[in-house]
Amino acid sequence: MNGLVIITNKQKLLICVVALIFIVLSAFLITRLDFPKAAHTGSAKISKVMSPENENQHLKDILSSILPADDEILYENSGRDLIRKKSDVRLTEPPSSEIITKGKKLSYLFVFSDEEYLRPIYTNLWKQSFYQGWLYLPRKVISARHSLFTYSGGAGKVFDIEGQLGFYPNVSIDNQNYFNFLIYNFDLENISQLGNDIAISGKPAKKGVQIISIKIEDVAALINENRNITAHLCTPAGYEIDYQNIPFSKGSNRIEDFGPVQESYTESSYNGTDLSSLEISQQNLILKKELAFFVSDSTKPIYFQPNGTYQTANSPTETADIEEALNGFKPIKFSFLYNNKKYASPVYHPGWKDHYERDWCYIPRKMYLNMKRAYVLPPNKEVAADLLGELGFFEKFSGVPENQASIAVKNFSVSKAGIFEDNILLVGTPARTGMQIVGIDKKNLAGLKEYTVRLVTSDACEIDSDILSD
């Protein structure tokens, strides 16, 4: 046969079957092997890929990036910078109504728009990128308080804006020829300019985001003097909801570097429990428990819901017809248990760190509270004091009488109150500063167990809402 091997068809079939069985068994065995996986900074699986020593340092670094090193009260000035003196907080507010009535209408483009967008109050990327300062609590509070942001600067600046906000629209932005504005929760109607002031007017919404662009040459042609431009987000009647100052050089038609963060944050030193005498593994367990008081361990974002909720049992489920309510509400008497129109809310208070185990430094809740202006105070005095403490409000006032319901109102000046169906309307004017605690006699609330408290302007715009329960 000269060494020639002849394979029959049956033998061929048998060989194929054996080979197939071998391949299947090999694949099964490979899947059972525990190969090392790639490390992702800040991920939930980080402990599986880091040595205990490296994880220990990593956790300490994250904790050190959240709170300021000094035990000082911090405020925000008109440039969204951190300051220590309350007196530096800008109190004056320009007449936005005059900009609307006397200013020139500006044309604009929508670069991006999503009416269903929900703004995140926490994203795991902030923890992953703690070294960028994206977990720094005073900065998170500042960003939460604003719904208008200038969306310009170099690639690094835009990257920082998007990272701080957890917003990634994936669009091309022209910063050479346009002013670009990012606006949350707003239905834009018109844009006007009077001198160095721009009024972006429309109505507040429960959700949505947009990026709009205005030609720099159109704005520069109307500027009176070489100083900052101020953009005002306002209601149709000109009540200012938010604002941002824009450094601009008229001579060169050049936008200076600006955005929600003006300088790098000051990293703190973590001053938690003394862990030096403990084993590394024990230290890591304690550090993880500590970190849970500041950030979520969820890999999914947490959002500010359109009905105003954040882990609350009750929430406004519908938006009332504010114009109808204003025309038909029954006026009720109210009193001010506290009233200071010049009160400036801090963006950091050392008391928060002292009570961090009560969630006073928990970033999702901190952002939620600072996106709001109305807070129904619980009837329990200790719980109410806890809420006011979370807001950084430690001023003395007479307290809430047992026969009254109370609502803390921040950056809004209430001028009258009324009831329409199951709504309590607090009518007034948005402001850049101020704190009021409004008391309403409970006898005015007989008949219903639950009311929606709404801060509204006279031009039928709802600024915020909360639930008052019996």
Residues 230-249 pLDDT 10s: 999 999 999 999 999 998 87
Name the band, by pLDDT with cuts 50, 70 and 90, for residue 261.
very low
- Select from 375, 383, 388 the least CA-distant residue to 426: 375
Residues 341-375 pLDDT 10s: 999 999 999 999 999 999 999 999 999 999 999 99
- Select from 217, 221, 226 the least CA-distant residue to 194: 221
Residues 287-331 pLDDT 10s: 999 999 999 988 899 998 765 555 444 566 567 799 999 999 999
pTM of the model: 0.85
382 pLDDT higher than 80:
yes
Residues 152-181 pLDDT 10s: 777 788 889 999 999 999 898 898 899 999
Q: Which residues contact 129 (CB under 8 A, 6 or more apart)?
A: 42, 163
Longest dimension (CA), the chain: 115
Separation of alpha carbons 360 and 26, rounded Å: 54
285 pLDDT higher than 80:
yes
Residue 224: what pLDDT?
83
Q: How far apart are the first and last CA of the chain?
A: 102
Residue 448: what pLDDT?
86
Residues 7-66 pLDDT 10s: 445 555 555 555 566 555 554 443 333 323 222 333 334 445 788 899 999 999 999 999
Residue 249: what pLDDT?
78
76 pLDDT higher than 90:
yes
Distances (CA, A) of 131 to 38, 155, 268, 302: 20, 18, 12, 21
- Select from 294, 426, 427, 270 the least CA-distant residue to 365: 294
Sign of the torsion angle spanned by Cα atoms 100, 106, 111, 113: positive
Region 432-447 average pLDDT: 93
Q: Which residues contact 291 (CB under 8 A, 6 or more apart)?
A: 59, 62, 63
Distances (CA, A) of 140 to 21, 73, 121, 290: 58, 15, 9, 19
Higher pLDDT pick, 1 / 89: 89
Q: Is 235 left (phi over 0), alpha (psi -120 to 50) or beta?
A: beta
